[in-house]
Amino acid sequence: MESIPNVLAERYASASMCAIWSPRGKILLEREFWIAVLKAQDELGLSVPEGAVEAYQAVIEQVDLESIRQREQITRHDVKARLEEFCDLAGHQVLHRGMTSRDLTENVEQLQVFRALELIREKVAATLIALSRRAEESKSLPITARTHNVAAQLTTYGKRLAMFGEDMLHAFTKLDQILATYPARGLKGAVGTQTDQLRLFDGDTSKTAELDAKVGAHLGLPASLDCPGQVYPRSLDFEVVSALFQLACGPASLAKTLRLMAGHELASEGFAKGQTGSSAMPHKMNSRSCERVNGFHHLLRGYVTIAGELAGDQWNEGDVSCSVVRRVVLPDAFFALDGLLETFLTILGQMEVYPEMTAAENARYLPFLSTTAFLMEAVKSGVGREVAHAAIKEHALATVRDLRTAKIKENDLLDRLAGDERLGISREDLAVVLDRAAGETGAAVEQVNRFAGRVGELAKRFPAAADYKPGTIL
Amino acid sequence: MESIPNVLAERYASASMCAIWSPRGKILLEREFWIAVLKAQDELGLSVPEGAVEAYQAVIEQVDLESIRQREQITRHDVKARLEEFCDLAGHQVLHRGMTSRDLTENVEQLQVFRALELIREKVAATLIALSRRAEESKSLPITARTHNVAAQLTTYGKRLAMFGEDMLHAFTKLDQILATYPARGLKGAVGTQTDQLRLFDGDTSKTAELDAKVGAHLGLPASLDCPGQVYPRSLDFEVVSALFQLACGPASLAKTLRLMAGHELASEGFAKGQTGSSAMPHKMNSRSCERVNGFHHLLRGYVTIAGELAGDQWNEGDVSCSVVRRVVLPDAFFALDGLLETFLTILGQMEVYPEMTAAENARYLPFLSTTAFLMEAVKSGVGREVAHAAIKEHALATVRDLRTAKIKENDLLDRLAGDERLGISREDLAVVLDRAAGETGAAVEQVNRFAGRVGELAKRFPAAADYKPGTIL
Amino acid sequence: MESIPNVLAERYASASMCAIWSPRGKILLEREFWIAVLKAQDELGLSVPEGAVEAYQAVIEQVDLESIRQREQITRHDVKARLEEFCDLAGHQVLHRGMTSRDLTENVEQLQVFRALELIREKVAATLIALSRRAEESKSLPITARTHNVAAQLTTYGKRLAMFGEDMLHAFTKLDQILATYPARGLKGAVGTQTDQLRLFDGDTSKTAELDAKVGAHLGLPASLDCPGQVYPRSLDFEVVSALFQLACGPASLAKTLRLMAGHELASEGFAKGQTGSSAMPHKMNSRSCERVNGFHHLLRGYVTIAGELAGDQWNEGDVSCSVVRRVVLPDAFFALDGLLETFLTILGQMEVYPEMTAAENARYLPFLSTTAFLMEAVKSGVGREVAHAAIKEHALATVRDLRTAKIKENDLLDRLAGDERLGISREDLAVVLDRAAGETGAAVEQVNRFAGRVGELAKRFPAAADYKPGTIL
Amino acid sequence: MESIPNVLAERYASASMCAIWSPRGKILLEREFWIAVLKAQDELGLSVPEGAVEAYQAVIEQVDLESIRQREQITRHDVKARLEEFCDLAGHQVLHRGMTSRDLTENVEQLQVFRALELIREKVAATLIALSRRAEESKSLPITARTHNVAAQLTTYGKRLAMFGEDMLHAFTKLDQILATYPARGLKGAVGTQTDQLRLFDGDTSKTAELDAKVGAHLGLPASLDCPGQVYPRSLDFEVVSALFQLACGPASLAKTLRLMAGHELASEGFAKGQTGSSAMPHKMNSRSCERVNGFHHLLRGYVTIAGELAGDQWNEGDVSCSVVRRVVLPDAFFALDGLLETFLTILGQMEVYPEMTAAENARYLPFLSTTAFLMEAVKSGVGREVAHAAIKEHALATVRDLRTAKIKENDLLDRLAGDERLGISREDLAVVLDRAAGETGAAVEQVNRFAGRVGELAKRFPAAADYKPGTIL
């Protein structure tokens, strides 16, 4: 049969993320776990042959996937195949005592999840730092904010970036909380009552408690479950995947907005160094990476649905109807977010904004956005409110009409207003009003500063994150 | 046009939850919010006519939905219709100054969400307390644990309940965290820069900051956003709905397991007082309420998907493509979880377990579950391991076969083993082994105690919860 | 408790759709069904008292929801409550013989689905006709086609509309197929074996077959199931809801594209007669209706997920864990698509395109889109290919740069090329090439004609559809 | 980086399905497509060098993935990399004339979809045939039908199987319809107007029409789109994936029901030849394959959601935000259904029912299911209806109570009724009534016959399907 790679891992995810989820990576974690249990059992008085621990440790890196595959064809049991392989390599048969398959696989899979979450956290910190830098450097650049995709008021480009950054920053707190509370299933036996380990220790609950504690220390997870069944509650998987999705939302909105801005030539996601646009069509800077960010976000939304199907569907102490689902959805969700972050970091490194274009857009819309200010100016200078309102409305509508029918190329509302005797405001005074409006970006700069301040605290927690460089993307 | 009720609200949700989301309920919150802004503006020096605040307050309860509907038909703008109605009732026109529609609706909708979350938290606490009581009262009742829906080992009924309770308890911590961090959008203006309020206060940012703080205090939310656009990030809606779903998972698994147990007549969800089974079919105690719990859980899973579609899909500073979606998904998700909890609390109050039936099931399977113990007994008494293993396997397979072909009605493995000279163990000795096994429920009792201990701490935080009684369900 | 309306029904769906799903509407269908069964039983020889059928028919319209509600509070059984109400009104007790609740509700709900599908089909036909008209009237208007949201090549506006229309037209064939194959469950009894009706007719299978046929004729569905259990397979619900979603996809893409075009002021969704833009901001024609179409589409996507949860989850002959889910998802999915179509038809009636704006956009990009043509022209006139390519690329890149830095306001590539001696092509010749390109819309017109032809055939099948007018939308 | 396989392809899907979606498989389809276009262009008069077609054909099988990967690293364009590789192998540069990337990839991906659908259709036919055989062989075996997971009435095992089979059979008609109407995008150029090919043929639309027809003939799809943009409407992907999901629903319900039956030891999914249960726990025949079927079904439900996100989200003439999503969801959906069918066919080959156990279950519940018949018998023999009803109810309730409290092991309702003087029916007469009831399976047998008849017609259309043998599963 032809080999078919996992496309998310192969094309988009980073090497570190792949190492956690690769067949070899999982086997290494399993072997470490088995040895940790063996050591703990030894320390607690179960007889373990001299040299056995060392023998296992000596062969831990000898992972032969093909040999294991052949064993599974015979045993029809994947854990058994991997156990026999390891034992044969070490020349001992003392692993897995009092353990069921799930005692191994549940904990190791949780470990994969936890380490992958830690990797994601570091990368999200890097992303927030890069985004915050971008927001700060453009915090005073006025752009036309849009609601309903139509010009509404001024804001600044930095504020727009911070807006999406704050979305991600909030999601970060959720990720943090999971990493602070994620509970391990532990060595709880076939149905969760620890009966199997208790038998080994002749019912001595203090010893099984100590064993569980030692194993927990090896895993390094922040909490442990008291009452699981054969499996840990699958709502934990849902919690993790929905947190991954939530982290993707800020980047997805920013990517979508950048695609919109690129359509107006206000900004672009940029090019890799040395890369240029198509010579045939130099204007065509396609937002391929932004589109890809949106694609990953779509996938993650679907993975939330899939992880949701596992949760709240437990029969008695558990079964394996979730098995094939988890084999797919856990790694793929992490690969997707990892690929998204790599891509998004690349965008943050390369994206460009065109200040002359944003200024031109502002100029086009600012007169319309300032009609209230003109009205106030007219009223201040003694014109009746009703009269002024009627006059301004008349000219504004006419200007829109003439722009849309290309009678005029630029917004000449000021000239029209200046020429209307009903209003009696000079072109100069109108221009003063407009100039004032052109700088009116409200609290945008301070808002960016606050965002940057919060990211700054994060940067202290994750000192290496500021220097993270994404891999080369396709 | 015929009136069509919201079926979740009408049939399943509690009156308190409906009050939050009803048209009238929302209008009351809006009016309170408008008045809070007006008061704050007054205190900060904006001119507010003498008696205006009081005039609004005097008519706050006069909600005439039909009159508002007629206004909306004319204005085509729902906020304007409600504003005009309120102002006409009060005889003043000073509300909504420097506010955009979203300054009103975003905050009020967040308030609905927050209050509904608080209501849910109280009810989840009540649920956990009731579930913990049930777990404690049956913590020593041995039942046959099943994996793959097949008998696997003993556990206790209380442990099984605690297992699902721990799922819900973990979800509770997530709900708690949301209630501790949920950030209000605040009065941020048309595109989020506070430009509109700054204009009112002549650019005095200290005053707008104070205004925002006063409004925040009125809302009572634990945090506020620094950098929103026209809207708050819709990932917050996703976060809320996914937390609601996660809370439903423990009850859903328990309900599903109770349906399975009812199929074996081991337990039932019980009846309301005075209710009896159908006289024609007295055995037919349908798990209708458990099925309904599973139905609500399905719905919530779908609402997660829908809320997920809103998140990460923002164009620029925002638009209203999410409007109709949020009008449906936010109330319906809360109604569904509220209905689920009402139903589930009813089940917790009425459900029954049949100890004689669980004992009979244990008796049927225990000999099979004890073959390892028999083997050890034989080896201890001097029989060769291989011989003993072969003999036990032979008899076990024959017993299964005879049970499945109805040659025998009860598991007679002990008799067969006692009659086999190869093993040389007496019927009495075998019975001793079996008796020991019959009590072997591992750490189940202690696990329940730990669960009850954690719920006990919760009960202290929510003293009223222990006495909560669900409404009568259909 | 405060009454909470179904927001989709109340604000968006048409009266005809609401009539199908309203409590009263369902009760009418149920009563008709009961009478149809009674008549059929009478004709097949079961004793039915003289005048009973007429007595039921005489009171069929007397629907008192409050009275039924009170009965349900006592009986705790919704079907029983409605049956007793009807029988008391008629003064007879002969309905529902040999029937179980599901014999009633399954068939009636299928009837609701089927009639709602028929209503949708008529409205989709109306939509396609309106869309085809729009496509034809603008089939020759050249616009700049965009890929990756960036100018790519010319197309026509009519072709763009037809593109989305073809999506909907394809979905229409699926709807048609469902309406041609949708199978009724029929009177199959408590577990689907017809045992209950067979008992009534003393095991005479010819009579039950005739009864089922008569009932089927009353329902008017195109097929019937042979082997259902207590319920019809819920995959049918999924099939229906996924077809509704698919019908929404063409409109959703068109609405999204119109929102993009509105952002460039190339087109707008228009206004209702008499309505104008905000006087303060006359340029601000928000695409609220298009956004709403996208909102409905989002909802429908979620309803597909929810309907999917019902399918393939049957335990044995069935249960009611789907009950609450179907009470919500079936009507809401139909309301959502109905609301979408009403809104979309309104857009099709009002939307505008601004030819001068599209022409200006074409002018901006056409020189870039024509570089290949310039190259061919240069080569034809004897310039070396390499030389020409380098020269054109140089000027194109410079022009893009100058446009983005606002050094120039209009694309002057032609002037630059004309001024370059390496190329030796006159401004006039270049203009000829550009003019030719300006009309190069490929097969767009013929493609629209083909689409219109296919819709024309549909129009013949649904003669009333061409005149359908959507209701007034909020 | 460590290689990570696609787990669905590697562990579960068949070799034929993998061949369609493998990197190599896709490249072969692409090369065939390029050659088909080249040939057609040659026939229509474009100059093609002598021997070029043959040169390409000669190297078509030389697929070097690593070489292509290296080219992509340089070009950053996957299609260009594959084109250069092929051209270098053939020593010609005449492929891809007038084509854009999407002219290639859209059509080739549709071809993958179509061929995968054909493969699925054949396998679904095989599944229906195998299921029909199973239904027929057990069509007369009475079992206790359950509603709400509680005994409700008799049915037959064959009827139960046919019930789920009919679900799948209905889904088959939808698959059939897609295979009869699936439209190819064809060679429509960069934005769908065929401009690119028209340029090649100097605007001769008859030639481009002929070209499109020739290419369509090569593809072999049943229809073609008139008006696509850069891409075909993604609602087609949704249509396909939702059809795959619908096909999984019947098997999923059957698998779930078999898991329930296994819990009652009424049936099991069986073992592979030579395989036996665990010797330690011979009763433990875990329904692992059924659980896996349910897992695949869950995944497919999620893929429907993901495919739904692509549909109705087109911007203008298209973009690639769907690219990464489709790279994952299309193959994975097909792998999941293919794996499900392989697993399900294995179950159909091995599953067992235990007639003595089903008989015992019938015996336990039949007296309860027959109370109405007893009542009629009593009334017939002259007992007053009220008296008889009261007596029967009293005994039935007592019997249930005694069974649930293990006072009795077997249902002794008949003895109790026989001993009650109020009823005056003999034990013999009661037994006659019960015997009659024991055979009362309604129209079950005829229903199975009808199902088998419909599958029989399918078997004629797909003569090879009856002999299809699934591969060995893990």
Give pLDDT tens digits for A349-380. 999 999 999 999 999 999 999 988 898 889 88
In chain C, which residue's Cα lies nearest the Cα of B335? C4
ipTM of the predicted assembly exceeds 0.85: yes
A425 CA: distance to closest CA in chain B (Å): 21
Query: For residues C187 and C212, what is the distance between their CA atoms, to the nearest angstrom?
Result: 6
Q: Which is it for strands B150-156 and B142-147: parallel, antiparallel or unpaired?
A: antiparallel
CA angle (B288 as vertex; B281, B473 as ends), nearest 5: 115
Q: For B9-13, what is the mean pLDDT?
A: 95
In chain C, which residue's Cα lies nearest the Cα of D314? C253
Q: Are the CB atoms for A2 and A8 separated by under 8 Å? A: no
- Does residue B114 carry a pLDDT above 70? yes
D299 CA: distance to closest CA in chain A (Å): 6
- Within D280-354, where are the H helices? 288-310, 323-350
Query: For residues D35 and D53, what is the distance between their CA atoms, to the nearest angstrom?
Result: 7
C106 CA: distance to closest CA in chain A (Å): 26
State both tokens at A240: 């993790």
Contacts of A320 in chain B (CB under 8 A): 148
Query: For residues A59 and A86, what is the distance between their CA atoms, to the nearest angstrom?
Result: 8
Q: Which is it for strands A223-224 and C183-184: parallel, antiparallel or unpaired?
A: unpaired
Q: Please state, as a whole number, how many other Cβ atoms lie within 10 Å of the Cβ of residue D288.
A: 19
Q: Are the CB atoms for D321 and A252 separated by under 8 Å? A: no
Determine the straight-line distance between the first and last CA of chain D, rounded to whole angstroms. Answer: 27
> What does R_g of chain B's alpha carbons equal in angstroms?
31
DSSP states of B175-238: HHHHHHHPEE--S--SSSS-HHHHHHTTT-HHHHHHHHHHHHHHHT-SEE-SS--SS--THHHH
Residue whose C-alpha is closest to residue C288's, from D310, B323, A86, D94: B323
**Facing D306 at nearest CB: one of A10, A11, A298:** A298
- Is C248–D312 a contact, with Cβ atoms under 8 angstroms apart? yes
Q: Return the percentage of chain C with pLDDT > 70, whole number.
A: 98
Interface test with B, best of C328, C330, C346, C472 (most B CBs within 10 A): C328
Number of Cβ pairs closer than 8 Å across B and C? 162
Query: For residues D114 and C367, what is the distance between their CA atoms, to the nearest angstrom?
Result: 40
Q: Is C158 helix (H, G, I), strand (E, B) or coil?
A: helix
Residue whose C-alpha is closest to residue D184's, from D123, D102, D252: D102
Q: What average pLDDT is seen over chain D? A: 94
C1 CA: distance to closest CA in chain B (Å): 6
Contacts of A147 in chain B (CB under 8 A): 190-191, 229-230, 316-319
DSSP states of C180-195: HHPEE--S--SSSS-H
- Does residue D280 carry a pLDDT above 70? no
Give Cβ neighbours of residue C419 (< 8 Å, ≥ 6 apart). none
User: What is the H or E stretch that residue A29 is in?
Assistant: helix A23-43
- Is C406–A357 a contact, with Cβ atoms under 8 angstroms apart? yes
Torsion, Cα of A123, A124, A129, A133 (10° steps): 110
Residue whose C-alpha is closest to residue B169's, from B441, B459, B470: B459
Give Cβ neighbours of residue B384 (< 8 Å, ≥ 6 apart). none
- Is A260–C265 a contact, with Cβ atoms under 8 angstroms apart? no
User: What is the H or E stretch that residue B247 is in?
Assistant: helix B235-263
Residue whose C-alpha is closest to residue B166's, from B450, B442, B466: B450
Query: For residues A262 and A271, what is the distance between their CA atoms, to the nearest angstrom?
Result: 13
Interface test with A, best of B181, B191, B238, B246 (most A CBs within 10 A): B191
B468 CA: distance to closest CA in chain D (Å): 29
Q: Are the CB atoms for A108 and A30 separated by under 8 Å? A: yes
| Chains adjacent to A (≥3 CB pairs closer than 8 angstroms) | B, C, D
Q: For D216-221, what is the mean pLDDT?
A: 90
pLDDT of residue D273: 62
- Is A440–B242 a contact, with Cβ atoms under 8 angstroms apart? no
Please report, for residues A230, B23, B32, the alpha-carbon distance to residue C2 in angstroms, rounded to integers and kept in the order given: 45, 9, 19
Query: For residues A222 and A215, what is the distance between their CA atoms, to the nearest angstrom?
Result: 12
Q: Please state, as a whole number, how many other Cβ atoms lie within 10 Å of the Cβ of residue D198.
A: 21
- Is B173–A152 a contact, with Cβ atoms under 8 angstroms apart? no
Model-level pTM?
0.97
Query: For residues D20 and C423, what is the distance between their CA atoms, to the nearest angstrom?
Result: 49
- Is C441–D195 a contact, with Cβ atoms under 8 angstroms apart? yes
Please report, for residues A307, B301, B306, B320, D301, the alpha-carbon distance to residue C303 in angstroms, rounded to integers and kept in the order given: 18, 11, 8, 20, 12
| Chains adjacent to C (≥3 CB pairs closer than 8 angstroms) | A, B, D
> What does R_g of chain A's alpha carbons equal in angstroms?
31
Query: For residues D95 and D31, what is the distance between their CA atoms, to the nearest angstrom?
Result: 10
- Is D148–B291 a contact, with Cβ atoms under 8 angstroms apart? yes
Q: Are the CB atoms for D262 and B150 separated by under 8 Å? A: yes
- Is C368–A283 a contact, with Cβ atoms under 8 angstroms apart? yes
CA C212 to chain centre: 33
Query: For residues D366 and C115, what is the distance between their CA atoms, to the nearest angstrom?
Result: 41
> Residue B1 — pLDDT band, cuts 50, 70, 90?
low
Number of Cβ pairs closer than 8 Å across B and D? 129
Give Cβ neighbours of residue A206 (< 8 Å, ≥ 6 apart). none
In chain B, which residue's Cα lies nearest the Cα of A309? B301
Please report, for residues A320, D44, D111, D442, the alpha-carbon distance to residue D40 in angstroms, rounded to integers and kept in the order given: 53, 6, 18, 62
**Facing D320 at nearest CB: one of A78, A288, A320:** A288
Mean pLDDT, 10 residues at a time, chain C of 474 residues: 88 96 96 96 93 97 94 87 96 93 96 98 98 98 97 97 98 96 95 93 91 90 95 98 98 98 95 62 86 98 97 96 96 98 97 96 94 88 90 92 90 95 93 93 96 98 95 83
Amino acid in the structure at residue D262: A
Q: Are the CB atoms for C369 and C153 separated by under 8 Å? A: yes
> DSSP state, B410?
S
Query: Position of tokens 């993270």?
Result: A468
Query: For residues C227 and D445, what is the distance between their CA atoms, to the nearest angstrom?
Result: 10
Q: Are the CB atoms for A386 and A301 separated by under 8 Å? A: no
In chain A, which residue's Cα lies nearest the Cα of C313? A313
- Is A250–B233 a contact, with Cβ atoms under 8 angstroms apart? yes
State both tokens at A242: 């929905």
pLDDT string in tens for chain A (474-residue length): 578 999 999 999 999 999 999 999 999 999 999 999 999 999 999 989 999 999 999 999 999 999 999 998 888 888 999 999 999 999 999 999 999 999 999 999 999 999 999 999 999 999 999 999 999 999 999 999 999 999 999 999 999 999 999 999 999 999 999 999 999 999 999 999 999 899 889 889 899 999 989 998 988 999 999 999 999 999 999 999 999 999 999 999 999 999 999 999 999 999 876 565 565 677 788 999 999 999 999 999 999 999 999 999 999 999 989 999 999 999 999 999 999 999 999 999 999 999 999 999 999 999 999 988 898 889 888 999 889 999 999 999 999 999 999 899 889 999 999 999 999 899 999 999 999 999 999 999 999 999 999 999 999 999 999 999 999 887
pLDDT of residue B273: 62
Q: Are the CB atoms for C127 and C344 separated by under 8 Å? A: yes
Give Cβ neighbours of residue B29 (< 8 Å, ≥ 6 apart). B108, B111, B112
Give Cβ neighbours of residue B402 (< 8 Å, ≥ 6 apart). B408
Number of Cβ pairs closer than 8 Å across A and B? 285
Query: For residues D211 and D215, what is the distance between their CA atoms, to the nearest angstrom?
Result: 6
> What does R_g of chain D's alpha carbons equal in angstroms?
31
- Is B298–C24 a contact, with Cβ atoms under 8 angstroms apart? no
- Within D155-287, where are the H helices? 157-181, 195-200, 205-219, 235-263
Q: Are the CB atoms for C337 and C315 separated by under 8 Å? A: no
Interface test with D, best of C140, C163, C241, C450 (most D CBs within 10 A): C163
State both tokens at B191: 């595109």
Query: For residues A354 and A267, what is the distance between their CA atoms, to the nearest angstrom?
Result: 6
pLDDT of residue C276: 56
Contacts of A304 in chain C (CB under 8 A): none
Q: Return the percentage of chain B with pLDDT > 90, whole number.
A: 86
**Facing A280 at nearest CB: one of C282, C283, C371:** C371
State both tokens at B122: 């109280």
